[in-house]
């Protein structure tokens, strides 16, 4: 049995208004993930580095393999949102390790400004490569292709370009949704033995977002398949376009459905805070392991999620990894494209583990995965694996929010919600 709601025009307006700097509910975090053609990210945090027109430049001595072309430019859709700032800083870190100079700029979710930023760095004679994350996949295609026509390789992270890029490094949002659903079902089976009469709710984001739409489909498709076979009830509910709207949707739905067994969210961090606050307000927030505990899971992964998991409030996160996006993109461009060409230079169908070492970039050695570079409609693509962070592996130092702090020196959020769970905290 399933139930669902559809996004409204009002939600779309509020989502677009929230781009770049959405409101928060009791936390300093916001989730960030792929936008789509005409879309964008699911919010931005109030980080210390703003979206300024000048950006910032860093240099580091070394041999990048070329004397005149020694700049890797990173014009991003945003530098205020922690997620995108992390991807940009990952690119900077890796480029400087290889001896390149770097320049980071943020467009403040302004598609026209991002076009100008890309065109500006493409016109500089010292630019060896460009790494970007589109606000609008179609709108950014023209400056991306123009740069490639002029011999500058362009790597795209997170949000694919509409038609082509030298290489894309991204994440499988549909699979992340499927994994979220499967871990939820695993937890319910372990607790109850049977899924008969269990109830699960999924709060999805604005479906004009490339990422949220794919996650919703992955979660919905897997949950509906399981529901049809087991007697589980699945509710697919609109969360909204920003953390405040997610909190309101959670409060309204959960106040009328207190018999829920598991709550899933399209994004974690600030988008998940409202769920925890609602459960606490309704005296339904129990520590993990208590018979009354309601399972809570989401997609993305932030330091707040690590904290909440360690404290016993939440159970599982389907992780992505912006740190790896920037680093891997730089390494692929450096090894195969810079000085070699802009098209048909990235080896398709190969694992390139001599260039991309999974256990260095993400929770890779534990996964025992060696992704191949795939040929897609927009060119070669390296898909950074998703996986589940749970109590069994939360202490690993290779989760991306921990890498952002330890490797990139970034101050990530770690929300301090005032909650009063019932029962005994997990040992």
Beta-strand runs (E) in 261-367: 262-265, 295-300, 316-319
Residue-wise pLDDT tens digits, 297-355: 999 999 899 999 999 999 999 999 999 999 999 999 999 999 999 999 999 999 999 99
Residue-wise pLDDT tens digits, 89-146: 999 999 999 999 999 999 999 999 999 999 999 999 999 999 999 999 999 999 999 9
Q: What is the pLDDT of residue 46?
A: 31
Nearest CA among 315, 283, 319, 316 for reference residue 426: 315
More confident residue, 333 or 357: 333
For 353-379, b where at least 16 C-beta lie within 10 A, e where not — what string?
Answer: eebbebeebbbbeeeeeebebeeeebb
Does residue 15 have a pLDDT over 70? no
Residue-wise pLDDT tens digits, 200-244: 999 999 988 888 999 999 999 999 999 999 999 999 999 998 899
Nearest-angstrom CA–CA distance, 128 and 227 = 52
Q: Tell me the two tokens of residue 18.
A: 């929230």
State percent of the chain over pLDDT 90: 74
Q: Read off the pTM.
A: 0.85
Nearest-angstrom CA–CA distance, 136 and 110 = 9
Q: What is the pLDDT of residue 61?
A: 39
Q: What is the pLDDT of residue 359?
A: 81
Contact status, residue 32 vs residue 322, Cβ threshold 8 Å: yes
Nearest-angstrom CA–CA distance, 131 and 333 = 9
Strands 374-376 and 379-384: what pairing? antiparallel
Contact status, residue 233 vs residue 200, Cβ threshold 8 Å: yes
Does residue 66 have a pLDDT over 90? no
Strands 101-106 and 71-76: what pairing? parallel
Does residue 370 have a pLDDT over 50? yes
Q: Which of 33-37, 65-69, 160-164 has the lowest mean pLDDT?
A: 33-37
Domains and CATH numbers, the chain: 2-24+172-319 (3.40.50.2300), 56-170+321-384+400-406 (3.40.50.2300)
Average pLDDT, the chain: 86
92-97 long-range contacts, CB within 8 A, separation 24+:
92/58, 92/326, 93/326, 93/327, 93/407, 93/408, 94/326, 94/327, 94/330, 94/331, 95/330, 95/334, 96/58, 96/59, 96/60, 97/60
Q: Please tell me which of 146-150, 356-360, 404-408 the model is most confident about, judged by mean pLDDT.
A: 146-150
Q: What is the pLDDT of residue 413?
A: 66
Q: What is the pLDDT of residue 1?
A: 58
Q: What is the pLDDT of residue 399?
A: 93
Does residue 391 have a pLDDT over 90? yes
Q: What is the pLDDT of residue 236?
A: 98
Q: In the predicted model, what is the mean pLDDT of residues 18-36?
A: 37
Classify residue 190 as exposed, middle or buried by CB count within 10 Å of its CB (0-12, 13-18, 19+).
Answer: exposed
Q: What is the pLDDT of residue 411?
A: 78
Q: What is the pLDDT of residue 20?
A: 33
Q: What is the pLDDT of residue 103?
A: 98
Q: Tell me the two tokens of residue 412.
A: 């990530």
């Amino acid at each position: 049995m399933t139930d669902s709601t559809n996004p409204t025009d009002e939600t779309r307006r509020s989502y677009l208004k929230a781009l770049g700097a959405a409101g928060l509910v009791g936390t300093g975090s916001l989730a960030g993930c792929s936008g789509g053609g005409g879309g964008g990210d699911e919010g931005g945090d109030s980080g210390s580095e703003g979206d300024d027109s000048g950006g910032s430049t860093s240099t580091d001595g070394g041999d990048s393999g070329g004397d005149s072309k020694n700049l890797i430019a990173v014009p991003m859709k945003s530098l205020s949102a922690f997620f995108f700032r992390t991807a940009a800083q990952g690119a900077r870190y890796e480029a400087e390790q290889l001896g390149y100079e770097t320049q980071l700029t943020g467009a403040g979710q302004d598609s026209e400004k991002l076009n100008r930023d890309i065109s500006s760095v493409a016109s500089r004679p010292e630019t060896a490569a460009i790494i970007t994350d589109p606000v609008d996949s179609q709108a950014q295609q023209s400056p991306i292709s123009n740069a490639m026509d002029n011999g500058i390789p362009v790597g795209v992270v997170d949000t694919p370009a509409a038609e082509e890029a030298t290489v894309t490094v991204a994440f499988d949002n549909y699979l992340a949704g499927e994994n979220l659903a499967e871990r939820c079902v695993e937890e319910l089976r372990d607790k109850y033995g049977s899924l008969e009469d269990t109830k699960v709710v999924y709060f999805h984001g604005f479906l004009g977002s490339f990422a949220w739409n794919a996650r919703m489909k992955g979660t919905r498709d897997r949950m509906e398949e399981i529901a049809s076979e087991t007697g589980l009830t699945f509710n697919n509910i609109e969360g909204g376009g920003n953390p405040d709207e997610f909190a309101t949707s959670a409060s309204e739905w959960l106040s009328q459905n207190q018999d829920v067994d598991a709550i899933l969210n399209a994004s974690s961090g600030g988008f998940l805070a409202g769920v925890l606050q609602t459960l606490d307000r309704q005296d339904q927030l129990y520590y993990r392991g208590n018979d009354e505990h309601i399972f809570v899971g989401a997609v993305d992964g932030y330091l707040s999620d690590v904290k909440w998991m360690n404290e016993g409030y939440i159970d599982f996160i389907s992780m992505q990894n912006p740190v790896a996006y920037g680093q891997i993109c730089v390494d692929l461009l450096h090894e195969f494209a810079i000085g070699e060409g802009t098209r048909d230079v990235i080896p398709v169908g190969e694992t390139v583990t001599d260039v991309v070492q999974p256990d260095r970039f993400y929770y890779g050695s534990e996964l025992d995965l060696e992704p191949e570079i795939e040929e897609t409609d927009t060119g070669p693509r390296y898909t950074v694996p998703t996986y589940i962070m749970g109590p069994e592996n939360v202490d690993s130092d290779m989760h991306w929010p921990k890498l952002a702090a330890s490797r990139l020196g970034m101050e990530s959020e770690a929300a301090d919600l005032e909650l009063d769970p019932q029962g005994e905290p997990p040992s």
